[in-house]
């Protein structure tokens, strides 16, 4: 008698729900191990979580010979969507009028110079190398985003308080906001350009952007009024979770940009509510588990059978983005004029780290253009690992 026969009397049911719950537990347990490894090796924990996801993809696609298998299929998409909306909402909370006034023209000049040079370098460079328009424009928009955590943590470790350090901290506080705006605009214009029906596509693009603004205002304004009228504690936590779920679900239902809607809602709450920090604090308390799912599942989304196709694109994207950051920083420093002597010419290289928002954009672009999805995802996942490891080293070099 075999072992399965002897255990046949046990009420074992490997249902999808049970397997999903076990998988979620395994992913969160793995994140604890990643934290330990990161603290002892100084490797970025985000990169470690992405690599865990890539390991899952290796097991499923190569080890189990399931090329189309994805972990938590059906559950992964809402988890990723909720994580992205949380990040965008918190980024919107950084865009207060007081902060924008205090950052001054210097941050605006340098950040816009880096963005413009980066978009042109990546977009035109990839087009010149013969990559499809959808791939070139998507990666050009994705290249704008910076990982603020990697930059700020490196600066705080160095203890540098000079102008260059303060400038970098100010730029990364708004950089992902620029990235979300650039990505939303790029996706809408790409849809219009690549569609055969120009009028209908333009209408869709207008709705995607305009509808996101309407949705962000429709949810953000009542939330700004409600925030602060509830006592701190469980009601505020429920309010914060309700905000995120409403933004994520409504944007997917209405077909508008979830990142833009969430960022606008966050900005409205931050600027119109006197007790806005309560909602943001509650979201920050619950954000990390969702980000763990996001990074692991993003890494697991890589299509290993398209790696050879993505190798050239990945190398080109890394080199072109580095060139764009360097040239943009150099241009921004020259435009700064009166403060030029205090800033290094290679300032833009300190804005190299790239993580969560970029990967989220890649997932959305892959969903929009499925024919390019595997190559886009493979390139962004691979380059994220490179930028997260290389980025802090470049930040230290710029700080000197």
* Helix H or strand E encompassing 314: helix 307-336
The phi and psi torsions of 106 (rounded to 5 degrees) equal: -65, -45
Output the DSSP codes for 135-159.
HHHHHHHHTT---HHHHHHHHHHHT
- Separation CA 16–CA 99 (nearest Å): 47
- Min mean pLDDT across 220-234, 295-309, 369-383 is at 220-234
Measured in degrees and rounded to the nearest 5, phi and psi for residue 231 equal -70, 150
* Alpha-carbon torsion (398, 315, 382, 146), positive or negative: positive
Tell me the pLDDT tens digit for each residue of 113-165: 888 898 999 999 999 988 888 888 889 988 888 877 677 667 766 777 777 77
pLDDT at 1 over 50: no
Asked if 34 and 52 touch (Cβ cutoff 8 Å), the reply is: yes
The predicted model gives 192-213 an average pLDDT of 69
Calpha distance 280→95 (Å, rounded): 13
What is the length of the chain?
Answer: 400
Predicted local distance difference test score (pLDDT) of residue 71: 65
The contacts of residue 198 (CB under 8 Å, 6+ apart) are 192
Reported as a single tens digit per residue, the pLDDT across 208-258 is 778 888 998 998 888 888 775 555 544 567 777 888 899 988 988 887 877
pLDDT computed for residue 257 by the predictor = 78
Residue 76: helix, strand or coil by DSSP? helix
Domain 76-399 has CATH 3.40.1790.10: no
Cα(212)–Cα(112) distance, integer angstroms: 23
CA angle 241–242–247, rounded 5-degree value: 100
């Amino acid at each position: 008698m075999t072992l399965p026969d002897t255990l046949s009397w046990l009420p074992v049911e490997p249902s999808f729900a049970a397997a999903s719950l076990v998988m979620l537990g395994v992913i969160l347990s793995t994140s604890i191990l990643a934290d330990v490894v990161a603290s002892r090796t100084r490797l970025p924990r985000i990169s470690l979580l992405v690599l865990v996801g890539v390991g899952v993809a290796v097991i499923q696609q190569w080890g189990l010979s399931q090329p189309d298998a994805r972990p938590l299929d059906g559950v992964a998409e809402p988890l990723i969507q909720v994580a992205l909306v949380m990040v965008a909402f918190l980024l919107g909370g950084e865009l207060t009028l007081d902060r924008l006034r205090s950052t001054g023209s210097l941050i605006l000049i340098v950040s816009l110079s880096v963005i413009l040079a980066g978009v042109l370098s990546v977009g035109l460079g990839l087009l010149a190398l013969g990559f499809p328009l959808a791939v070139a424009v998507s990666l050009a928009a994705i290249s704008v985003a910076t990982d603020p955590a990697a930059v700020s943590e490196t600066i705080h470790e160095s203890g540098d308080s000079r102008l260059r350090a303060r400038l970098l901290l100010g730029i990364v506080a708004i950089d992902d906001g620029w990235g979300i705006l650039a990505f939303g605009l790029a996706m809408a214009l790409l849809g219009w350009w690549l569609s055969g029906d120009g009028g209908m596509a333009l209408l869709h693009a207008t709705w995607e952007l305009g509808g996101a603004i309407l949705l962000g205002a429709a949810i953000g304004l009542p939330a700004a009024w409600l925030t602060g009228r509830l006592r701190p504690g469980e009601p505020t936590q429920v309010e914060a979770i309700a905000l995120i779920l409403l933004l994520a679900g409504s944007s997917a239902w209405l077909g508008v940009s979830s990142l833009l809607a969430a960022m606008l809602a966050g900005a409205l709450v931050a600027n119109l509510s006197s007790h806005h920090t309560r909602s943001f604090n509650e979201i920050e308390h619950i954000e990390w588990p969702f980000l763990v799912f996001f990074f692991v599942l993003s890494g697991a989304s890589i299509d290993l059978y398209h790696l050879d196709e993505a190798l050239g694109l990945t190398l080109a994207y890394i080199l072109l983005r580095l060139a764009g950051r360097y040239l943009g920083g150099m241009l921004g420093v020259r435009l700064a004029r009166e403060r030029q002597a205090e800033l290094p010419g290679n300032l833009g290289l300190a804005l190299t780290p790239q993580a969560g928002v970029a990967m989220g954009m890649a997932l959305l672009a892959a969903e929009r253009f499925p024919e390019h999805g595997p190559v886009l995802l493979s390139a962004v996942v691979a380059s994220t690992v490179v930028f997260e490891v290389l980025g802090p080293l470049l930040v230290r070099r710029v700080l000197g």
